[in-house]
Amino acid sequence: MAGTILVTLIIFSSIFGIVFTFLTIRNKERLVLIENGADAKLFNSEKKCSFGQFVLDLVLLAIGMGIGVLVGEMFHHNGMEDSGTSISCIFLF
């Protein structure tokens, strides 16, 4: 019980730390660019996603899900208890 709570806290604190670090560094980077006289339009770049990029993203998602199912089933057949192995591998990949 205590191990589950500890693992959950570690996971959420790691996610929070990564997001906080990313946002802090992005803010500092923008402030330095503004101080050096960079154009503010640099931050408002409109990224248009083409149809090809959308299809590529979907294909990569499907490949990751397939690998996750495959690895999850391999874990299941090699004796690991069925406590969400396939689903966790899908989200992992």
With CA atoms as reference, report the closest residue to 30 among 40, 22, 20.
40
* Average pLDDT for 62-66: 88
Residue 82 gets which letter from DSSP? Answer: -
pTM over 0.95: no
Domain extent, residue 25, equals 1-45
Residue 65 has pLDDT above 70, yes or no: yes
34 shares its domain with 3: yes
37 shares its domain with 52: no
Number of structural domains (the chain) is: 2
40 shares its domain with 68: no
57 shares its domain with 87: yes
Band the pLDDT of 68: cuts 50, 70, 90: confident
38 shares its domain with 74: no
| Cα–Cα dist 33/55, whole Å | 34
| Cα–Cα dist 63/2, whole Å | 36
What is the per-residue pLDDT across 76-85, written as a single tens digit (0 to 9) for each?
788 777 667 7
Instruction: Mean pLDDT check: name the lowest of 14-18, 23-27, 84-88.
Output: 84-88
